[in-house]
Structure formats: structure tokens, C-alpha cells
Amino acid sequence: MRIRVATRVGVLAVLLAVLSALSGCSNEAGPAPKHAPRDPGPEALRTKLAALTVDDCYRAPEAQDPAGCAKYVTQLGSIPGRAEKYAGDAHPELAEHGRALAAGIESYRRARCDQPDTAGQPACAQALTDIAAALGAVQDALVTMLDGPAASR
């Protein structure tokens, strides 16, 4: 009888140890972040613009197959909002150019320029041209904001 009780106590102790070890794994993979990620600021936007303005879709938009520029247009998606944010009240031209960029992106999407067989469609060629012009204007306005009027390209 004492052996059975000892066995039961031993089994119970092992089960409690296993359950205790497993209970730590039940909720999450790690601690939750305490703060939202910090905004990298306008310098990061300058870097992003420098990278995007060497793309062929920017440099020669009229010569591109619009569907081939879909990834490029997607990468532009966050720029209008960031331009608006960084413009504040002091740099309305940056916000204005950001809105023009958003309109160009919307025109590209509305015309479904990301679909195959859109080469030669005037609406898509115009959307890419408008996007390139607005992106260049955003870049110029951002450089002016960060470095002063003499620094613009």
C-alpha cells in the first residue's frame, strides 16, 4: 500500500513539474514591446527617395511597360503620407507635392496599370509620367526643407 502511495506521489510530482515547465510557453513568444517603433524622420525619407529616383520607372517613365513598374509604384505608397507629416505648417509645398504623388499612384491603380498588356495605354503612360514628376518635386521640396533653398537639385 505504501508503495502505491509513493508511486502516486512520484507520478504527481513529475506531472506538476512538466505542467509547470509548459505553462511558461502558453502565452507568447517573448515580452511585448513597450513602445511603438520610433519614426526614422525625414532623413530616412531622403534616403528612400534617393533610391527610388534611380529606378528606370522614374528616369524614363514613358519608355516602361506599366506592369513592370508595379513594385516601384507600391514602394511609393508611404511617401505621400510621410511628406504630409514632415511638411507640417512650415512647408506646404512638400505636402502639395505629396498629394500630387498620391493622385498619380491612384491614377495608376485605377487604370489597372499593374496588369499585363497595359503597354501603350495612354492612361498608364500618363500616370507613370505624373508619378515621376511628383516624386521629383517631393524630393526637391524635402531637400529644400532639410538643407535650405540653395541645396535643391
Q: Give the residue ranges of the chain where pLDDT is below 70.
A: 1-33, 36, 150-153
- The 10s digit of each residue's pLDDT in 4-44 is 655 666 666 665 566 566 666 555 566 666 776 777 889 99
pTM of the predicted protein model: 0.73
Among residues 90, 88, 83, 56, which one has the least CA distance to residue 72? 56
